[in-house]
């Protein structure tokens, strides 16, 4: 099979008929062998019944239904597991992404050998309150991930080589950072394509302003886990040593100073009357806590089932 189109959807009943018939039209015009995997993320508006109906006329439609709403990442991950096509395209169900982009995305994966091609909604039809923070986030993500050629990490329209989706895991709300996850997994040929972005035709957006706070926290997590997930002690240990060292230096300084004062019969303060004493106390406590956190994290990493799961690309 050439293409699997994976579509996460949550209460998008009005869009589904138009979306699926448009995709089918594009596929048939280009003679692609395809499947459309509609992942119903616990919709309550009759989307699932609609999928059942659409399937009667189009055997290439497959449906997966969650019992409850788990989120876009969960839906994508489940769709990825099911996808059989050589190229996997993801798109949103709300008709904001245009299926007309599919042939070009497919060509770039197959002919130009990209691992992942991400859409870039260069001209967006969203309110300013969304586009400005998005710009800041994309700049931060570019810097932190080293993927300098992407402008729009969170675009719903993306194309992947099959091996990519089978070897990455998207969970929580990490769908915003799939290119970063792919890069950590060793898929580094990542490209971008300007795509048309259309205003939402039916229904309303499923993510509120909380997306920005969650997005920032996820960005921090993804970097921490990517860099130190398998060796947490290298992070916590270093921090702990620095903190402890600060405390030790303070203590030594206080002892030396006091001895000096005693020897030279200079009037001296009580230890507890010195700010340095409290700094030493706090840094020593924080230092030992960081160490303990490091040890515990190390134990967690050690018993993680994927501690020895690596991306083996080829064996001869
Ligand atoms: N979506 C989902 N589960 C959710 C929230 C959203 O499957 O819990 C789907 C939604 O139906 C749509 C896509 O994710 O197909 C993108 O959502 P939306 O258009 O609301 O996001 P926005 O375009 O505002 O970023
Ligand atoms: Mg949308």
Q: Would the pLDDT of 205 be above 90?
A: no
Work out the pLDDT band at 180, boundaries 50, 70, 90. Answer: very high
Residues whose CB is less than 8 angstroms from the CB of residue 302 and which lie 6 or more positions away in sequence, other chains included: none
Is a pLDDT exceeding 90 seen at residue 290? yes
Probe target for ligand 1 pocket from 67, 74, 94, 152, with the most ligand atoms within 8 Å of CB: 94
Q: What phi, psi does 94 have (nearest 5°)?
A: -90, 15
Cα angle 269, 273, 275 (rounded to 5 degrees) comes to 115
Q: Which ligand 1 atom is the nearest neighbour of the CA of 12? A: 11
Distance 105 CA to ligand 2 centre (A): 20
Mean pLDDT, residues 135-145: 92
Residue for token pair 């923070």: 133
Ligand nearest to the CA of 156: 1
Measured by CA distance, the residue closest to atom 19 of ligand 1 is 205
Residue 306 has pLDDT above 90, yes or no: no
Closest ligand 1 atom to the C-alpha of 93? 15
pLDDT given at position 132: 86
Tell which one of 23, 37, 202, 206 to mutate to probe ligand 1, the residue whose CB is within 8 A of the most ligand atoms: 206
Residues comprising the chain, all counted: 316
> Cα(first)–Cα(last) distance of the chain, in Å?
26
| SS3 label, residue 168 | coil
Hey, where are the domains in the chain? Answer: 3-228, 233-303
Q: What are the residues whose beta carbons fall under 8 Å from the beta carbon of 111, sequence distance 6 or more? A: none
Helix locations, 95-196, DSSP H = 102-110, 128-145, 162-167, 178-184
Q: Which residue's CA is the nearest one to ligand 1's atom 18?
A: 205
Mean pLDDT of the chain: 93
Whether residue 131 is predicted with pLDDT greater than 90 in this model: the reply is no
Indicate the pLDDT class of residue 211, thresholds 50, 70 and 90: confident
CA 229 to ligand 1 centroid distance, Å: 29
Spatial distance between the Cα atoms of 235 and 215, rounded to a whole number of angstroms: 23
Please state, in angstroms and rounded to a whole number, the distance separating the CA atoms of residues 109 and 280: 57
Q: Provide the 3-class DSSP secondary structure of residue 294.
A: helix
Q: pLDDT tier at 243 (50, 70, 90 boundaries)?
A: very high
For ligand 1, atom 8: residue with the closest CA: 71
- DSSP, collapsed to helix, strand or coil, labels residue 104 as helix
Cβ neighbours for 263, distance < 8 A, ≥ 6 positions apart? none
* Residue 300 clears pLDDT 90, i.e. is over it: yes
Residue nearest to atom 24 of ligand 1 (CA): 205
Nearest to 140 by CA among 177, 185, 178, 167: 177
Partners of 120 in the β-ladder: 194
Can you read off the two tokens belonging to residue 253?
């300084």
Task: State percent of the chain over pLDDT 70.
Answer: 100
Q: How far is the CA of 67 from the centre of ligand 2 (A)?
A: 22
Low-confidence winner among 6-10, 207-211, 294-298 (lowest mean pLDDT): 207-211
What DSSP designation does 45 have? S
Ligand closest to Cα of 10 equals: 1
Residue 97 is classified by DSSP as B
**What CA dihedral angle connects 34, 35, 36 and 41, to 10 degrees?**
-150
pTM of the model: 0.88
The pocket around ligand 1, CB under 6 angstroms, is made up of: 8-10, 12, 41, 69, 71-72, 75, 92-94, 96, 156, 205-207
Class of CATH domain 3-228: alpha beta
Q: State the distance from the centre of ligand 2 to the C-alpha of 200, rounded, in angstroms.
A: 6
Which residues lie near ion ligand 2 (Cβ < 5 Å)? Answer: 92, 94, 96
Distance of CA 79 to the CA centre of its chain: 16
Q: How far apart are CA 246 and CA 219, in angstroms?
A: 30
Torsion over CA: 101, 103, 108, 113 (sign) = positive
* CA–CA gap between residue 253 and residue 105 (Å, rounded): 65
CA-CA distance, 208 to 303, in Å (whole number)?
37
Give the distance (Å) from ligand 1 centre to CA of residue 305: 31
Please tell me the predicted confidence (pLDDT) of residue 269.
Answer: 87
């Amino acid at each position: 099979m050439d293409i699997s189109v994976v579509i996460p959807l949550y209460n998008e009943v009005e869009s589904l008929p138009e979306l699926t018939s448009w995709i089918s039209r594009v596929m048939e015009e280009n003679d692609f062998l395809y499947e459309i995997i509609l992942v119903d993320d616990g919709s309550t508006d009759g989307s699932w019944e609609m999928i059942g109906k659409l399937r009667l006329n189009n055997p290439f439609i497959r449906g997966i239904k969650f019992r409850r709403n788990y989120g876009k990442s969960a839906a994508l991950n489940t769709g990825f597991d099911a996808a059989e096509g050589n190229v996997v395209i993801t798109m949103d169900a709300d008709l904001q992404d245009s299926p007309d982009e599919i042939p070009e995305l497919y060509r770039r994966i197959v002919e130009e050998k990209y691992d992942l091609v991400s859409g870039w909604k260069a001209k967006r039809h969203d309110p300013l309150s969304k586009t400005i923070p998005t710009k800041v986030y994309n700049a931060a993500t570019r810097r932190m991930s080293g993927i300098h050629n992407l402008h729009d990490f969170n675009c719903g329209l993306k194309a992947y080589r099959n091996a990519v989706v089978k070897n990455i895991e998207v969970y929580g709300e990490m769908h915003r950072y799939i290119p970063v996850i792919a890069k950590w997994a060793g898929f580094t040929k990542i490209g971008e394509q300007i795509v048309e972005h259309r205003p939402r035709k039916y229904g309303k957006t499923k993510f509120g302003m909380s997306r920005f706070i969650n997005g920032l926290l996820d960005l921090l997590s993804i970097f921490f886990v990517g860099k130190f997930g398998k060796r947490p002690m290298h992070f916590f240990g270093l921090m702990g040593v620095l903190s402890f060292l600060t405390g030790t230096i303070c203590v030594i300084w206080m002892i030396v100073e006091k001895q000096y004062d005693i020897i030279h019969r200079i009037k001296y303060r009580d230890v507890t009357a010195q700010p340095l004493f409290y700094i030493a106390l706090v840094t020593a406590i924080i230092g030992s806590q960081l160490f303990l956190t490091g040890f515990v994290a190390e134990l967690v990493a050690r018993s993680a089932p994927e501690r020895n799961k690596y991306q083996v690309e080829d064996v001869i």
